Amino acid sequence: MVKQFQQVKDNPVPKAIFYTCMDSRMIPTRFTETSVGDMFVVRNAGNLIPHSETFVDEMTSCEPAGLELACIVNDIRHVIVCGHSDCKAINLLYQLRNKEESSIEKRRISPLKSWLCSHAQSSLEKFISMNGDFKQPMLFSAETPQRKFVAYIDPENKFCIEDKLSQVNTLQQLQNVASYGMLKKRLEKHDLHIHALWFDIYTGDIYYFSRRAKRFIIIDEATYESILSEETLNLKMNQKPIFEYNDESQAERLARKSKDSPFMILGIMGLVGVCAVGAYKYKKRGNMSTSIFLMQLRVAAQGTAVAALTLGLGYSLVDKYILKTKKEE
């Protein structure tokens, strides 16, 4: 462990930010097989990410601060939300369907109830809207309000009702992540990806929400290739960066510039020619003062450069509006 810390202490390169529950049975680095420096981890009761509408005047929670630190400051490309079975916070959330349990009086004496009522109410409302019929599809917003995905919650009916709510809550957090304006451009360009995982405490199985399968599917040897192909397809949707930097030598840079602006070479050659002629004539300037000679030489050099620029501009206009039109015809 000490060696791992020494390797990443000055230059960690995290690949994701991982939101999960503070449950003591959840050890994300173990079931994700990650090591020191691989990802940011944010933990709280119920793996919640408050919706941006929660904050009226300023951000006052560590969850959006974590998003900014990871996605904006460190430019990571993956946000992962991981729920789990037998979540004590979600079990309590299920009880908060009772208006008496979620009353203002109860919330004033229970920070946990207040936290859940403030930031998990949307999950509970979506869960209640199903009326216990989980064979129906649920609709969630994804990276943008226009991109939505369908989800079937536990169609095999393997889990208890609270665990179903836990899965709904996990997917709801993806919508909450996408609500932050600071992430809007990256999400629209597919430069930032949001994922949902769900961990079964009792079996040790980890589930991945597949938008292709429209449900949480177990990650094992039988599903690995399918999940990998889905993620590969998502990554291929990324747009290339607007600016690409390649380390060029001076010769390569000159060759590229010459190809882009052929008259630049004529301008440089003309300038060198004027300087060479000027150096030759300097010895035969007669009674002309040095200052006047240099002034005339400067005018000649500038005239050569302007002439090359004018020719280059004319060539560009002809190539763009005349030659290109003829080629298209």
pTM of this prediction exceeds 0.95: no
Mean pLDDT calculated for residue range 200-228: 92
The answer to whether 318 touches 327, Cβ cutoff 8 Å, is no
Lowest mean pLDDT among 7-11, 18-22, 74-78: 7-11
**Domains assigned to the chain:** 2-236 (3.40.1050.10), 250-328 (no CATH)
Establish whether 21 is an annotated binding residue. Answer: yes
CA distance linking residue 184 with residue 205, whole number of Å: 33
The answer to whether 230 touches 212, Cβ cutoff 8 Å, is yes
Phi, psi angles (nearest 5°) of residue 147 = -90, 110
Residues 130-183 pLDDT 10s? 998 888 999 998 888 888 899 999 999 999 999 999 999 999 999 999 999 999
Q: Please report the sign of the dihedral spanned by the C-alpha atoms of residue 42, residue 47, residue 52, residue 58.
A: negative
pLDDT of residue 241: 37
CA distance linking residue 243 with residue 143, whole number of Å: 24
| Burial of 275: CB neighbours in 10 Å, binned 0-12, 13-18, 19+ | middle
Bridge partners (DSSP) of residue 238 are none
* Helix-strand-coil split of the chain, %, nearest 5: 50, 15, 35
The answer to whether 50 touches 119, Cβ cutoff 8 Å, is yes
Helix H segments across the chain?
2-8, 28-31, 62-67, 88-95, 104-109, 111-119, 121-128, 161-177, 184-188, 224-236, 250-260, 262-282, 290-318, 324-328
Closest among 134, 133, 140 to 155, alpha carbons compared:
134
Examine the pLDDT at 201 and tell me if it is beyond 90: yes
pLDDT of residue 257: 61
Examine the pLDDT at 247 and tell me if it is beyond 60: no
Residues 10-29 pLDDT 10s? 677 889 999 999 999 999 98
In 10 A of CB 140, how many CB atoms?
A: 20
Establish whether 23 is an annotated binding residue. Answer: yes
Closest among 243, 211, 239 to 227, alpha carbons compared:
211
The single-letter code of the amino acid at 86 is D
Calculate the average pLDDT of the chain: 84
Lowest mean pLDDT among 45-54, 76-85, 232-241: 232-241
Closest among 71, 107, 82, 78 to 31, alpha carbons compared:
82
CA distance linking residue 114 with residue 109, whole number of Å: 9
CA distance linking residue 177 with residue 93, whole number of Å: 20
The answer to whether 138 touches 150, Cβ cutoff 8 Å, is yes
Query: What are the angstrom distances between the C-alpha of 170 and each of 22, 176, 216, 232, 267?
Result: 14, 10, 11, 23, 63
The single-letter code of the amino acid at 212 is R
Mean pLDDT calculated for residue range 229-234: 76
